[in-house]
Amino acid sequence: MAFGRSDQPKMPKAIKLLIAGGFGVGKTTMVGAVSEIRPLRTEETLTDRSVGIDDLSGVETKATTTVAMDFGRISIGDEFMLYLFGTPGQERFWFVWDELARGALGAVVLADTRRLADCFPSVDYFERRGTPFIVAVNCFEGAPVFELAEVKLALNLGEDIPVLLCDARKRESGKEVLITLVKHAYGKRPMATVK
Ligand SMILES: Nc1nc2c(ncn2[C@@H]2O[C@H](COP(=O)(O)OP(=O)(O)OP(=O)(O)O)[C@@H](O)[C@H]2O)c(=O)[nH]1
Ligand SMILES: [Mg+2]
């Protein structure tokens, strides 16, 4: 029996997103929390050699760091399939960012209010590339709580950049962040390219 085009199952739209931000803000944690497949990780042990280079304040128990990327996948309804690429946070691995950013619809810049300035380089990077991004403040226990408007001001973000609170360990929270990013990124595209 022949099927017309409308009978064919609709394929979800594949979207590439980046999870970026400074060292130890919870990028690997977020990709792992939301991914529906076993996430790919490229963690290496932090050694004494990073003392004085990597700022471990607030994440003193952190034993490993991403050296290449995280990868995960999550579907949003039957419309979208999001492919998530977590970036390495340490500056010495930043050469990987250009490769990871290619073809990405947008980026989440994760921030930690104890080290807010650490997300400046990520914000600069996506502004320069013209990649749509949002800022998600990962709420660590004991971290100072700021109004979102204060975070926006501190980061000198444009009015149109969404800023929201999240818990990188929780699936629903991560999903909300990703949906906010997809909506924001599509909102910035000329209508003709939105399918
Ligand atoms: N309390 C708390 N701990 C968190 C949260 N998110 C991450 N962590 C912890 O913080 C540490 C850093 O998390 P990672 O996910 O490795 O951070 P990352 O941004 O991938 O780090 P790099 O790849 O080294 O830049 C880990 O020990 C996590 O368990 C959070 O929302 N709350
Ligand atoms: Mg990581």
Contact call for residues 168 and 138 (beta carbons, < 8 A): yes
Which of 87, 143, 156, 152 is closest to 115 using CA atoms? 143
For the whole model, what pTM was predicted?
0.91
Look at residue 107 and give its three-state secondary structure: strand
Query: Over 80: is that where the pLDDT of 193 sits?
Result: no
Distance from C-alpha of 186 to C-alpha of 108, rounded to nearest angstrom: 14
For ligand 2, the distance from its centroid to the CA atom of residue 84, given in whole angstroms, is 13
CB-based contacts of 83: which residues, under 8 Å, 6+ apart?
14, 15, 16, 17, 71, 72, 73
Superfamily of 13-187 according to CATH: P-loop containing nucleotide triphosphate hydrolases (3.40.50.300)
What pLDDT score was predicted for residue 185? 97
Confidence band of 195 (pLDDT split at 50, 70, 90): very low
Q: Per the structure block, which two tokens stand in for 106?
A: 């947008």
- Going by pLDDT thresholds of 50, 70 and 90, the confidence category of residue 89 is very high
Lowest mean pLDDT among 43-52, 59-68, 101-110: 43-52
- For the chain, the structural domain boundaries read 13-187
Q: Which atom of ligand 1 sits closest to the CA of residue 66?
A: 23
Q: Is 38 in the pocket of ligand 1 (CB under 6 A)?
A: no
Joined together, the tokens standing for residue 143 give: 């971290």
Best mutation site among 59, 118, 164 for ligand 1 pocket (most ligand atoms within 8 Å of CB): 59
Average confidence score pLDDT of the chain: 90
Position with higher pLDDT, 188 vs 97: 97
Alpha helices in 50-168 (DSSP H): 95-101, 120-129, 148-154
For residue 40, the 8-state DSSP code is B
Q: Could you tell me the CA-to-CA distances from 170 to 35, 102, 139, 155, 165 in Å, in that order?
A: 11, 27, 11, 25, 12
Output the pLDDT for position 5: 61
d(CA 97, CA 75): 24
pLDDT(1) > 80: no
Residue 86, pLDDT above cutoff 90: yes
Instruction: Say how far apart CA 139 and CA 184 lie, in whole Å.
Output: 22
What pLDDT is attached to residue 51? 63
| Residue 20, ligand 1, Cβ within 6 A | no
